[in-house]
Structure 1
């Protein structure tokens, strides 16, 4: 870990790899959530599998939590190191002439995404842990969709989710595309990879927004 903090190249590579890992999880999470729009049964079935499979629960879930923490810690470290390394003061630094708004404000979009993850964990992960390991409630394979639907009853809560995914788009727009460069992906496919990353940055958060709005207006 000390080597990662000391080496700027290692920090960027570690940040990119952890980001790519989280992007993969984001796609998987979206795929499951999107099924809730057209089939409560499919959503329940997939959620029940994810919620009861021991590999998912005791291997992949801890790895995911570590990946989230690692990514954001490295983001803060990079921001501090970059600020310290700048040879000119902010008063003389024309950031817009050298980098896009998204790249200059990754720390802020990242903080909003981090706050959203806190809300998301509070809404879903914490109740799930309480249900399983504190209350030891009997498992009900059909409970997942009603629980999801309930979370989007409030227009305020739905609005917070929508706003968070807008900031996720901003964060991914620069972060996902630049991650390919950070890991050394620089060949004839670089332009295509960058376009894919930009499209992903719009389509997936937009898909989450569609799910949130659809569930809000689908209350029984």
Structure 2
């Protein structure tokens, strides 16, 4: 594996696969969170299942955490390699004419997304681990909704979530479609797929922003 990942092409391929995996998780996470807008009971039921199911907790959760770490580590490695390559002086080079603003600044939008993940872990994952495994509270299938909405009482925290999802949209707008290019998806469906990935990059972050603002307004 170490030898395989020494290749730049292999790194891009591996990063693309991890990114696609995270995109699937994002859709699942959004679907569950969206139910909190329409039904407290459904949100509690789904959250309780995800929080107590052995397959989710013991297998999928570690894979997800590994996927997040792997994706960002690969991103930093590729950025460092690219910067090193750009240090070589060519007779003619104009990066701005060959790539979009988003593609040239993926590292910065990625850093903001990584900071948001830290906040999200601090707000939800760590309290969940403490609740279940440190303080050893009995199971309470009705607690999840209230734990969610209380996080959006603060305008500062809500604003941080909104800003983070704006940067997530910027990151996804280029990253989602380029992931398919990295794994070699080049056929007659590529144009339609690009349209889908760009729509996804806008709709899903806007959906998360809507959820955050909905609960903040309801808390007023």
TM bin, normalised by shorter chain, reads over 0.9
**How far apart are residue 94 of structure 1 and its match?**
3.1
| Equivalent position of 1:43 in the other structure | 43
Distance 2:38 2:65 in 1: 29
Q: Which runs of 4+ in 1 moved over 2 A?
A: 1-5, 86-90, 92-95
Gaps of 5+ in 2: none
CA RMSD of aligned residues (A): 1.4
Match of 1:130 in 2: 130
Give the Cα separation in 2 of the matches to 1:159 and 1:96: 31
Counterpart-to-counterpart distance in 2, 1:93 and 1:60: 44
Question: d(CA) in 2 for partners of 1:207 and 1:4?
Answer: 38
- When residues 61 and 28 of structure 1 are mapped into structure 2, their CA distance, relative to the original with a 3 A threshold, is same
Q: Which residue of 1 aligns with 2:196?
A: 196
- Structure 1 length-normalised TM: 0.96
Partner residue, 2:205: 205
- Report the CA distance between 1:85 and its aligned residue: 1.6
Output the CA distance in 1 between the equivalents of 2:87 and 2:216. Answer: 49
Report Cα offsets for 1:52-93 as digits up to 9, x if no partner.
000000000000000000000000000011111226459x85
User: Conserved in 2, the CA contact under 8 Å of 1:176 and 1:201?
Assistant: yes
Task: Note the residue ranges of structure 1 that are not aligned, 5 or more in a row.
Answer: none
| Conserved? CA contact 1:5–1:77, under 8 Å | no
Deviates more, 1:26-35 or 1:95-104: 95-104
**TM-superposed deviation, 1:3:** 2.2
Instruction: Give the whole-Å Cα distance in 1 for the aligned partners of 2:40 and 2:53.
Output: 20
> Structure 1 pair 105/89, CA: closer, same or farther in 2 (3 Å)?
farther
Matches for 1:46-195 after TM superposition, within 5 Å:
46-86=46-86, 88-89=88-89, 94-195=94-195
CA distance in 2, matches of 1:165, 1:3: 36
State the aligned residue count.
219
Q: CA deviation at 1:219?
A: 1.9
Q: Distance in 2 between matches of 1:23 and 1:12?
A: 16
Tell me the alpha carbon deviations over residues 22-49 of structure 1, each in whole angstroms, 9 at most, x when there is no partner. Answer: 0000000000000000101000000000
TM-score, with structure 2 as normaliser:
0.96
Counterpart-to-counterpart distance in 2, 1:141 and 1:113: 30
Distance (Å, rounded) in 2 between the aligned partners of 1:141 and 1:89: 61
In structure 2, the residue matched to 1:34 is 34
Structure 1: how far apart are the matches of 2:124 and 2:111? Answer: 20
Distance 1:89 1:33 in 2: 49
The answer to whether the 8 Å contact 1:33/1:211 transfers is yes
